[in-house]
């Protein structure tokens, strides 16, 4: 195999590839959240090291090609983050494609950066389910990206995996979630011996097929919806309008599972109000004590 400088750098960093890089662990708005004057977000404005991008993954395939899972409003910073970790050069293939979970703002609006105002990509494959494809084709400015050829929409089918170079595959898994604009999927990323579940948004663990328990037994790492820690997080807001299993609920739900399974669970997609964003919080200590984990922005996960 041709060894690009990027792959050489991966070896120098002793990163085994293919790999996935966590580009963000916050909910759609990122952390801090616009306009929030409470302690949660003040803290992160005073100390930018605490800030987090919206949930997204990069996949580095066996040839050093880059793929994104979700394209967030923080796309420019996330791309810069990836460039810093793994510098691109003339020989290294750039962005090869993007997989989208759904049409909520944190998951697709970064596509605007692909247009003629910014990157001006040519025919970049964007993989999405039929409802999301329809939404992008029916609405500006997204349909302009298609019309002038910046992106090429490729329709996903539930349960049918898309192959990437180096024995990698990405399979969409339909997930119950508020469907104002599109259906929602999670993705199962599979290498030869590593599997990763990316599931940022779900209304409830019930109604998932296969069941979350079975999925957990079949993957090595599961990045799971941890939007809210508890039901009391948004005073004055009807949390029934934005259903998510709370982390408290999920920890109870998974408490009967063996430790080996529980430690695969990495919560992410955290709302700015989530106390897990505070490294000193008793909630985070409790999560670790119960054998669960928190996804770390910048972490490199094996996908060989």
Measured from the CB atom, the residue of 53 and 104 that comes closer to Zn ion is 104
> Contact residues for Zn ion (CB under 5 A)?
28, 104, 106, 201
CB of residue 28 vs Zn ion: minimum separation in angstroms?
A: 4
Bridge-based pairing of strands 95-99 and 66-69 is parallel
Question: How many angstroms separate the CA atoms of 223 and 202, rounded?
Answer: 12
Alpha carbon distance 167, 136 (integer Å): 30
Closest CA to 58 of 28, 79, 88, 30: 79
Q: Beta strands of the chain (E only): which ranges?
A: 19-24, 56-60, 66-69, 95-99, 124-128, 151-155, 162-164, 168-175, 184-190, 195-199, 221-225, 265-268, 293-294, 300-302
* Nearest approach, Cβ of residue 138 and Zn ion (Å): 19
Q: Distance between CA atoms of 43 and 271, rounded to whole angstroms?
A: 15
Give whichever of 214 and 237 is closer to Zn ion, judged by the CB atom: 237
Instruction: Please give the structure tokens belonging to residue 244.
Output: 């998510």
Tokens 């793929």 belong to 67
Question: Which CB atom, from 109 or from 150, has the smaller least distance to Zn ion?
Answer: 109
Taking the complex as a whole, the smallest distance from the CB of residue 33 to Zn ion amounts, in Å, to 13
**Least Å distance between CB 206 and Zn ion?**
18
Task: In whole angstroms, give the CA distance from residue 248 to residue 254.
Answer: 10
Q: Compute the least distance from the CB of residue 47 to Zn ion, in Å.
A: 24
Pick the closer one to Zn ion by CB: 106 or 226. Answer: 106
- What is the smallest separation between the CB atom of 139 and Zn ion, expressed in angstroms? 17
**180 C-beta neighbours (distance < 10 Å), count:** 9
Alpha helices by DSSP H, listed for the chain, are 5-12, 39-46, 75-85, 105-108, 130-138, 142-147, 212-218, 247-253, 259-262, 282-289
> Max alpha carbon distance in the chain (Å)?
58
Minimum gap (Å) between residue 269 Cβ and Zn ion: 6
- Residue placing its CB nearer to Zn ion in the complex, 105 or 192: 105
Q: Of 175 and 215, which CB lies nearer to Zn ion in the complex structure?
A: 175
- Specify the residue, 74 or 104, whose C-beta has the smaller distance to Zn ion: 104
């Amino acid at each position: 195999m041709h060894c690009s400088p990027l792959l050489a750098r991966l070896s120098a960093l002793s990163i085994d590839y293919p790999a996935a890089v966590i580009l963000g662990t916050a909910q759609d708005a990122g952390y801090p959240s616009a306009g929030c004057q409470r302690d949660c977000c003040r803290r992160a404005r005073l100390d930018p090291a605490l800030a987090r991008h919206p949930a997204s993954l990069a996949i580095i395939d066996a040839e050093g090609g880059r793929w994104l899972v979700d394209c967030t409003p923080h796309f420019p910073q996330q791309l810069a983050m990836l460039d810093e970790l793994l510098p691109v050069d003339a020989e290294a293939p750039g962005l090869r494609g993007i997989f989208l979970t759904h049409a909520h703002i944190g998951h697709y609006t970064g596509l605007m950066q692909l247009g003629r105002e910014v990157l001006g990509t040519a025919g970049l494959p964007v993989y999405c389910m039929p409802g999301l494809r329809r939404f992008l084709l029916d609405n500006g400015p997204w349909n302009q990206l298609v019309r002038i050829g910046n992106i090429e929409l490729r329709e996903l089918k539930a349960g049918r995996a898309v192959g990437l170079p180096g024995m990698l595959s990405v399979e969409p898994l339909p997930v119950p979630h508020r469907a104002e604009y599109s259906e929602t999927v999670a993705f199962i990323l599979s290498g030869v011996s590593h599997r990763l579940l990316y599931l940022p948004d779900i209304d409830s663990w019930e109604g998932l097929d296969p069941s979350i328990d079975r999925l957990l037994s079949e993957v090595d790492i599961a990045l799971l919806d941890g939007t809210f820690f508890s039901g009391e997080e948004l005073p004055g807001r009807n949390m029934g309008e934005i259903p998510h299993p709370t982390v408290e609920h999920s920890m109870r739900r998974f408490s009967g599972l063996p430790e080996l399974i529980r430690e695969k669970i990495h919560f992410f997609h955290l709302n700015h109000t989530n106390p897990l964003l505070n490294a000193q919080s008793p909630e985070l200590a409790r999560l670790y004590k119960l054998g669960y984990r928190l996804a770390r922005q910048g972490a490199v996960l094996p996908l060989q």
